[in-house]
Amino acid sequence: MWLKDDGTTLSGNWLYCGSWTEAGALTQRRGTEDPSELGIYPNWAWSWPANRRVLYNRASCDGNGKPWDPSRRQVWWDEAKQSWIGNDVPDFKADSTPKDHMGPFIMNPEGVGRLFVPLGAMADGPFSEFYEPIESPIANPLHPNQSSNPVVKKYKTDLDKYGTVDQGFNVICTTYRLTEHYHYWTKNNPMNVQLVPEPFVEVPAELADRMGIRGGENVRVTSARSQ
């Protein structure tokens, strides 16, 4: 089931496309069968877009389309059918023969996985590294002298101030999502606003007690840049 441009299909959000068909709500399927015993559970709920459970699963096979590990057969090339098949839905062009050497990492232009970041794609690298956020109240435990990412782009306008603990910014906050809204896009949609009308902050009980805040009260959230 794919979206068509002839008006016969409807999709509010392409991430849900294919999850509701004539067969009903595929997300509500609760099939607990796992014939391959690889933990694939093909009939449990729905994995967008095509119900494949492991990405880049062609990489589990060698150049001839034979699984590296015979005890863990995810997908493989079927010579008779001239197609990739398997216990999981192949994340690959189904009819691309192994001899064509199409790379399994189909989302990378080079078709292979990366151990390191190529130049021009990211400013830092080549290996991943743990850095603290720029406004972190603590020093990086791994290397305190370079707490945050050295190549992050810092703007130089009046608004680009960074708060420190000495200045009083001693509470770590994080933003997150709500079921009832889509970011702030739905701020003006009456249905969403009815469900969650106002922005709110969830504060741990101990911190709330220390700050003398009770649930339902108005609070002011301030950063070095605004409030």
User: Contact region for other proteins (CB under 8 A) — 24-32, 52-60, 63-71, 143-151?
Assistant: 24-32
Burial (CB count <10 Å: 0-12, 13-18, 19+), residue 47: buried
Residue 179 interacts with other proteins (CB under 8 A): yes or no: yes
- In whole angstroms, the minimum distance from the beta carbon of 33 to other proteins comes to 17
Residue 180 interacts with other proteins (CB under 8 A): yes or no: yes
Residue 8 interacts with other proteins (CB under 8 A): yes or no: no
| DSSP assignment of 39-107 | S--TTBS--TTT---STTGGGGB-TTS-BSSTTS--EEEETTTTEEEESS--SS-TT--GGG---S-TT
User: Contact region for other proteins (CB under 8 A) — 7-15, 22-30, 53-61, 157-165?
Assistant: 22-30
User: Contact region for other proteins (CB under 8 A) — 95-103, 140-148, 168-176, 189-197?
Assistant: 189-197
Residue 141 interacts with other proteins (CB under 8 A): yes or no: no
**How remote is the C-alpha of 78 from its chain's centroid?**
32
Residue 191 interacts with other proteins (CB under 8 A): yes or no: yes
The residues, any chain, with a CB within 8 Å of residue 97's CB and separated by 6 or more, are 65, 77, 82
Residues at the interface with other proteins (CB under 8 A):
25, 27-28, 30, 179-180, 190-191, 193-198, 200, 215-216
